[in-house]
Structure 1
Amino acid sequence: MGSDEDMMVGPAARWAAGEREPEQSPRRADDRRYEPRPDWQRMVRSDWHDLRVVRTRLAAGADPDGDPQDRADGGPPPLHRAAEEGAAEVVAELAGRVSDLEAVDGEGHTALWAAVCADSPDAAAAMLAVGADPWRPVVGERSAGWLGLRNKCADVFAGLPGAVLPTADETARQQEADWLIGLFTGEYPEGLAAAFVAGLTEDEALRRVGLDPAACSPLTEADRAAWDALEHEAGDVTGVSAVPGGCVLMHAYNYWLRTEEALIPLSAGTTAYGLYFNPKGGVFGTLARDGAVVLHEEIGLDPDEDSPADHWLFRFYDRGPEHLHDASCLAYACWTAGLSPTSAEQVLGPPRRWATPPGTR
């Protein structure tokens, strides 16, 4: 049996891991879209890009600060939704009407913070133009300006009074992290389990988890096609690929590679990081060093005041249009183990070798 974190189910767990809640309302005909309503119900993502829709709601009596019951239930105020999902002109319209530009949502985040997390410099600029505070602490001592100086909003904040630019070392680390994220952008590793191990050859890693390297042959082209087709049947098939700095072992739909049973022997005298993309929701990691597990964590969630600094470095806060969540988790695992892959395939497969014939149980 897996741990409680491995058993997370349902859409709430997926959204907690960084996926966006799907739109529930179908596209309405134009006459319905512009129907006067004194609330913000049934607003879909595209509506936050349509100034006419928003002005029609406001004219009908919709509260720019949000529906009181929605606020009481922890829902995001309209300005926060516009800042994350909408057009700058909609942000400007609402920002000029709200009673408090620094109002927070159920997570304690301001609308300016939401704009920065969405990689929206235009929305951030619209908020600043009406007086939003760029240096107000939002998460611990981190402000929207601090965060914006480290993503695509940097030009919006760099010239403001009080701006403290990242150091050369911080910039270099961020560039390296972003390169790794870019390596995996566009990949969808649902169900993947992988162990990232520093300093070991493929043969040594296989021996440490009880597999015979002699029985682990390089994949042929037919084998590669078979690996792609394994899907749910791959739980007992272990793939392995050498990666600059060590190697990666991989399973599909079997989280064993992030358990202590696998990571303790793999990490003897080195570092290993086990990662599992639970198809029921959530991404879970385990860090082991020198034969001992030192950390269990769920990754890809919005960082908080106590989160490791690398959760910020790998942009777990990002809610931008590029959907970096899965790529950030994979890049973080490589970084934490000290590996430097040169292709996504080295981590996601097909692997260079596999340990048991496909389909055996």
Structure 2
Amino acid sequence: MTGHGWDGMDYRDWKNHEEVRRRLDAGADPERFGVGRSRPLHRAALSGSPEVVAELARRVADVDALEEGVTALWEALVSRRTENARALIAAGADPYRVGHGGWTVARLSLAGPDPDLVPPEAGRPGLTDAERAVADEGRRLTAALGDCFDDGLGLACVAGIDAGEAVRRLSATPVDPEFTAELTEDALSAYDLDEDMRIVGVTTVPGGCVVTQPWGYAPQQPVVMRLLSEGTLAYGLYANPKSGNQGCVFRDGVAEGGDLHPGGGPDPEDGPREVLFSYVHASHAIAYCLAYGGLRPTDARSVLGPPDHWVRLPERDYWTQ
């Protein structure tokens, strides 16, 4: 059986304790799932229930076994599945085992939404003042943004310049507010997308400005990012409805990173600062982009609108730098 007894399981089934226990009792392998080195406990930590996590933890040889270099406890932590993390710790998972960037679950959890996940132990290091500042600002920013729905959104977060300077750099011209009010209500069906893809909103926020397009990718096109980032830093986002969040970084007019996944959580190659930053903003792509640029909005208006200015970009090729 190629699925090791887990054939037909999808992410929803890991919440079904009765079904998981039935499969285990029938001979499903608690150590293997699918092909490669995938592990059932990691699947449950990511998308299952605490009861399923506890059931699997009782049946594995090592609750701290690794998949792609991390434990199930690490997966539960960075995916914000706190109750699953508690179930793993109760089952003996080691919160002081070192993961990506030299962080342990115990220390990294202090920067997240559940800083009491691991009871403090004498002699164990906590967060530095600088790390605590990153965590505090991340909590403030995600709370200020609320539940921003970003599907189809384009965004450029630019450090150190205001909306007026952004409009100047883009050589953009004002758009009739009545037209944009109608456009934002039905951008995908009522208007000419080739024309309307050149319309963006621009808003000044503490630390810089935000260029946004609720219906498309225009703000993070290479030429737009190059112009906006001259002498500074800009982080671009397109929340692609088909393939997920796509990010890019430009510094002083030059592309510094592309094909990024803002809000996706820490990566194995990340250093300590990157792991902390990614964890603090995990599952919050917009907050990640704003914070990366050092922007500190006090609400979601710069993203959801209405912006300070609706403007039209001049006609040109925005993909060829």
Structure 1 residue 82 corresponds to structure 2 residue 44: yes
Decide which of 181, 191, 194 is 1:224's aligned counterpart. Answer: 181
The 2-side partners of 1:260 and 1:42 are apart by 42
Q: Within 5 A, what are the aligned runs for 1:200-215?
A: 200-212=161-173, 215=174
The 2-side partners of 1:238 and 1:200 are apart by 17
User: Contact conserved, 1:243 with 1:339, CA < 8 A, in 2?
Assistant: yes
Render the CA deviation track for 1:148-198: whole Å, top value 9, x for unaligned.
333244323132466322123322321111221233342222222222223
Structure 1 residue 333 corresponds to structure 2 residue 289: yes
> Structure 2: which amino acid aligns with 1:73?
G
> Structure 2: which amino acid aligns with 1:304?
D
The 1-side partners of 2:122 and 2:88 are apart by 16
| Structure 2 residue matching 1:294: 3-state secondary structure | strand
Which residue matches 1:6?
none
- With over 3 angstroms needed to count, the CA separation of the structure-2 counterparts of 1:190 and 1:120, relative to structure 1, is closer
Which residue matches 2:26?
60
Structure 1 residue 304 corresponds to structure 2 residue 267: yes
How far residue 298 of structure 1 moved from its aligned partner, in angstroms, is 0.3
- With over 3 angstroms needed to count, the CA separation of the structure-2 counterparts of 1:279 and 1:128, relative to structure 1, is closer
| Structure 2 residue matching 1:92: 3-state secondary structure | helix
How far residue 314 of structure 1 moved from its aligned partner, in angstroms, is 4.1
User: Contact conserved, 2:138 with 2:280, CA < 8 A, in 1?
Assistant: no
The 2-side partners of 1:140 and 1:241 are apart by 35
User: Contact conserved, 1:145 with 1:163, CA < 8 A, in 2?
Assistant: no
The 2-side partners of 1:317 and 1:108 are apart by 21
Which residue matches 2:98?
137
User: Contact conserved, 1:64 with 1:79, CA < 8 A, in 2?
Assistant: yes
Which residue matches 2:204?
242
The 1-side partners of 2:134 and 2:11 are apart by 34
| Structure 2 residue matching 1:157: 3-state secondary structure | coil
How far residue 65 of structure 1 moved from its aligned partner, in angstroms, is 1.6
User: Contact conserved, 1:259 with 1:286, CA < 8 A, in 2?
Assistant: no
- With over 3 angstroms needed to count, the CA separation of the structure-2 counterparts of 1:209 and 1:311, relative to structure 1, is farther
How far residue 239 of structure 1 moved from its aligned partner, in angstroms, is 1.9
Q: Within 5 A, what are the aligned runs for 1:84-123?
A: 84-105=46-67, 107-123=68-84
- With over 3 angstroms needed to count, the CA separation of the structure-2 counterparts of 1:177 and 1:66, relative to structure 1, is same
User: Contact conserved, 2:76 with 2:85, CA < 8 A, in 1?
Assistant: yes
Q: Aligned pair count? A: 304
For structure 2, the residue ranges without an aligned partner over 5 or more in a row are 314-321
Decide which of 236, 247, 258 is 1:274's aligned counterpart. Answer: 236
Structure 1 residue 189 corresponds to structure 2 residue 150: yes
Which residue matches 1:355?
311
Decide which of 187, 201, 213 is 1:251's aligned counterpart. Answer: 213
- With over 3 angstroms needed to count, the CA separation of the structure-2 counterparts of 1:280 and 1:59, relative to structure 1, is closer
> Structure 1: which amino acid aligns with 2:27?
G
Structure 1 residue 154 corresponds to structure 2 residue 115: yes
User: Contact conserved, 1:272 with 1:287, CA < 8 A, in 2?
Assistant: yes
The 1-side partners of 2:96 and 2:131 are apart by 19
Structure 1 residue 51 corresponds to structure 2 residue 14: no
Which residue matches 2:279?
315
The 2-side partners of 1:126 and 1:270 are apart by 45
User: Contact conserved, 1:231 with 1:252, CA < 8 A, in 2?
Assistant: no
> Structure 2: which amino acid aligns with 1:224?
A
Which residue matches 1:264?
226
> Structure 2: which amino acid aligns with 1:306?
E
User: Contact conserved, 2:163 with 2:308, CA < 8 A, in 1?
Assistant: no
Render the CA deviation track for 1:215-271: whole Å, top value 9, x for unaligned.
345x35x74243232137331212222223332222355534324422333233333
